[in-house]
Chains A and B, each alone.
Chain A
Amino acid sequence: MTIVKRLLVAAVGALALAAPALAAGGDQHHPEEHTWSFEGPFGTFDRAAVRRGFQVYQNVCAACHSMKLLSIRNLGEKNGPFRVMPDPEHEGEVIEYTNPNDNPYLRAIAANYIIVDGPDSAGEMFERTGRPSDRFPSPFANEQQARASNGGAYPPDFSVIVKARHQGPEYIRSLLLGYGHEVPHDVHVAPGQYYNPYFPGGKLAMPPQLREGIVDYEGDIEATPEQMAHDVVAFLSWASDPKMEERKQLGLMVMIYLFIFAILMWFAYRAVWANVEH
């Protein structure tokens, strides 16, 4: 390539990357491309995939990763995965549960959790079963306890994890599926660490998670590692940006409105300036 061309390519590349600056260099692999239902200006979340992903989160990831900023009720809010569900009595129809607190699916999910509440009128803390309005309980009492159970590493909170990584969905999917590569001889993997070329630095404290059949999916979708990775990332993407669909829908109206407004302003401008040389 000529110098000019290389400069141009670099300039364009750098501008595109300037803000979300590059992750660590070395031999880190680029996240693998993947197609998501929520991509593009009209993309939406695949509710069924998000629900399956929630199952993976609950059964696997929640043992280590908290999701502090979300409440159970969020699952049943507008555009949430459990808001519109198949009607159990009428095949092919759906029911919309407009009040997340009365949503039977969420009440069932909440009932799995024991929440420490209080103090009561006697000043004592007490335990009760969860309610949809509760936050998702964290697996560890504090960061120190989490580190102590994970060989010194801290499993990050999941509330905004997809927005907190460059190319979030692709990166997390690649990371989850990125175990089992041959370890290069210049990399030393200590006990309690795992080689994963998608992770900055190549070594992380999280063991491989998605073994074939670790969760039981309803219906005939098979819980292969690829399927689970796809689903859990769909769930985490929803959790990080639950207003995405609302944002894109409103955006379309705003863009159309502004576009028409711009055309009208253009004609107004032409009309006002019609007889004026400038």
Chain B
Amino acid sequence: MSGPSTYKPSTGFERWLDQRLPIVRLGWDSFVDFPTPRNLNYWYTFGGILAVCLMTQIITGIVLAMHYVPHVDHAFASVERIMRDVNYGWLIRYIHANGASMFFLAVYLHIVRGLYYGSYKSPREILWILGVVIYLLMMAAAFMGYVLPWGQMSFWGAMVITNLIGSLPIIGGPITELLWGGFTVGNPTLNRFFSLHYLIPFLIAGAVILHIWALHVPGNGNPTGISVKSSRDTLPFHPYYTVKDGFAIVVFMLVFAFFVFYWPNALGHADNYIEANPLATPAHIVPEWYLLPFYAILRAVPDKLMGVLLMFGSIGILFILPWLDTSKVRSMRYRPMAKWFFIFFVVSALILGICGAMNPDDPSPFFGMSYLWVARIFTAYYFAYFLVILPLLGFIEKPKPRPASIEEAVLGPRAHAAPAAAE
């Protein structure tokens, strides 16, 4: 990892193990002694929170899978059986169902952090790309998980999404048939979605390991965007960040527990407590809240294929973001123009989420324009932010003066007089 290892095996066994499998050394260098910028704020705690979310989903998911029956005739009743007859089944299922929402809440805050502080810029491009891969896998896992309880939204959501893929030229048809395992959404679909839903979280876990590896080569970024220059800029990960992340995790768990125990169905759709019925289409088919902005982008164009391409493009564009942003300055703290475009970008993503939940033809409070047109305007801004604004700003904008080092940013100009703390 970055810098020479400081691990010193203290017992005979540790020395013996270290020569054969230096796993304690890996843990020590990654999570104990790892030099971490001293100025990380709470926006940097979501990585740890996300790790907790993934573990929570995997553990509760494995227990659910012991009781769940992936068959169209039994899936719905088996989930209700978990809720009623399995000891603490209601708790496990509510943690899993709300855990998916909490996972996305955390990942969105984590991504917003990255966009604002320029975490995607050199030398962290691979780290960023791995993050986008994790995000895509999360969406696939959540989409397939939502199909499993086999309620009305499960079924019709699966229908809408698989049909979308079917609109892709040439490959669309065969992919859809493979996903369905037949010619429509049915029992084979449910079976393979269950299998894949079990698999994907472990792919995510693998991608997370790479993500952390790619983090530990350049080390953490920080709110100033200034690279670490000396050991006075950093603190050892433990105890400084274990305790700070720990505090944030417990606060996050408070919010999580509030939903699980007091508002467990608030983030879901009532229709999913109606068993799937291929003959009755619900009045409104809406995805889970965390996919709504993309649903709005999808519906923003009249042509189905274009909609699908635009929707995938809206995520695909994140892969090349490190090369679209031409500014040399990482943190938007020192980018007076980019900052405002960014804030407006976050607002438009939220507005797109609202549009995704609404009937596109209904009038919006926005000059009485239909939600369809509101979605079009903000979709345009979404793409313009990445494709026009960020590339141009690097040339136009005059960044504010930046501190010479993290140390100076924290301590002010007296930095050099002060003794190095915590060393």
On whether the two chains bind one another, the answer is yes
A159 within 8 A of B: yes
State which residues 256-279 of B face A: CB under 8 Å: 257-258, 260-262, 264-271, 273-275
Type the 1/0 row for A237-278, where 1 means its CB is closer than 8 Å to any CB of B. Answer: 000101100111011101100110110011011001101111
- Shortest Cβ distance from A247 into B: residue: B261
Question: For A116, what are the chain B residues with a Cβ–Cβ distance below 8 Å?
Answer: none
B91 at the A/B interface (Cβ < 8 Å)?
yes
Across the interface, do B288 and A164 meet the contact criterion of CB distance under 8 Å? no
Known contacts A14-B354, A156-B274: does B262 contact A268 (CB below 8 Å)?
no
Query: Once the chains bind, are A163 and B84 in contact (CB under 8 Å)?
Result: no
Q: How large is the interface on B (under 10, 10 to 19, 20 to 34, 35 or more residues)?
A: 35 or more
A94: CB under 8 A from chain B? no
A residues sitting closer than 8 Å to B (CB atoms) are: 3, 6-7, 9-11, 14-15, 17-25, 41, 68-70, 74, 156-157, 159-160, 163-166, 168, 200, 240, 242-243, 246-248, 250-252, 254-255, 258-259, 261-262, 265-266, 268-269, 272-273, 275-278
Question: Main SS of chain B's interface residues?
Answer: helix
Apart from A68-B77, A243-B84, what are 16 other A-B pairs with CB-CB below 8 Å? A10-B365, A10-B366, A19-B267, A21-B269, A70-B84, A166-B270, A247-B261, A254-B257, A255-B257, A258-B253, A262-B254, A266-B247, A269-B246, A276-B235, A276-B422, A278-B410
Cα A159 to Cα B76 with chains together (Å): 12
Q: Does chain A have a CB within 8 A of B400?
A: no
With A69-B84, A248-B262 as given contacts, are A258 and B254 in contact (CB-CB < 8 Å)?
A: yes
Q: Are B250 and A278 in contact (CB under 8 A)?
A: no
B270 A243 Cβ-Cβ under 8 A:
no
Q: Is the Cβ of A168 less than 8 Å from the Cβ of B270?
A: yes
How many angstroms from the CA of A26 to the CA of B258 in the assembled complex? 35
Among the listed B38, B258, B422, which residue makes an inter-chain contact with A255, where contact means beta carbons less than 8 Å apart? B258
Q: Which 9 A-B pairs have the closest CB atoms?
A: A251-B261, A164-B273, A10-B365, A6-B365, A265-B247, A18-B357, A14-B354, A163-B273, A243-B90
Chain A, residue nearest B351 (CB): A11
6 A-B pairs whose Cβ atoms sit less than 8 Å apart in the complex: A9-B365, A10-B354, A41-B262, A159-B80, A247-B91, A272-B239
User: Could you say which residues of chain A place their CB within 8 Å of the CB of B244?
Assistant: 269, 273
Whether the pair A258, B357 counts as a contact (CB closer than 8 A) is no
Answer whether A18 and B353 are a contact pair too, CB < 8 Å, given A242-B84, A251-B257, A269-B244. Answer: yes
Please state if A262 and B250 are interface contacts (CB–CB under 8 Å).
Answer: yes
| Whole-angstrom CA separation of A18 from B83 in the bound complex | 25
Q: How far is the CA of A121 from the CA of B41 in the complex (A)?
A: 72
Q: How many pairs, one residue from A and one from B, have CB atoms within 8 Å of each other in the complex?
A: 142
Residue on B nearest A6 in the bound complex, by CB: B365
Q: Which of B39, B235, B269, B366 contacts A7 (CB 8 A)?
A: B366
Residues on B with beta carbons closer than 8 Å to the beta carbon of A261:
250
Asked whether, in the complex, the Cβ of A163 is within 8 Å of the Cβ of B251, the reply is no
Interface residues in B270-318 by Cβ distance below 8 A to A read 270-271, 273-275, 283-284, 286, 288-289, 292
Determine whether the beta carbon of B288 is less than 8 Å from that of A19.
yes
Chain A residues whose CB sits within 8 angstroms of the CB of B350 once the complex forms: 11
CB contact between A14 and one of B258, B265, B266, B357 (< 8 Å): that residue: B357
B175 within 8 Å of A (CB atoms): no
B149 to chain A, nearest CB (A): 11
Residues of B within 8 A of A277 (CB): 38, 410-411, 418, 421
CA separation between A69 and B75, bound complex, in Å? 13
Bound-state CA distance A29–B283 (Å) is 17
B16 to chain A, nearest CB (A): 33
B367 at the A interface (CB under 8 A) = yes
Nearest CB on B from A153, distance (A): 12
Cα distance, A242 to B85, chains bound together (Å): 10
In the assembly, what is the distance between CA of A273 and CA of B246, in Å? 14
Do A19 and B268 form a contact, CB below 8 Å, given A7-B366, A248-B261, A262-B254? yes
Give bound CA distance, A262 to B252, whole Å: 10
CB atoms of A20 and B358 under 8 A apart: no
Is A273's CB under 8 angstroms from B273's CB?
no
Judge if B184 is at the interface, Cβ distance under 8 Å: no
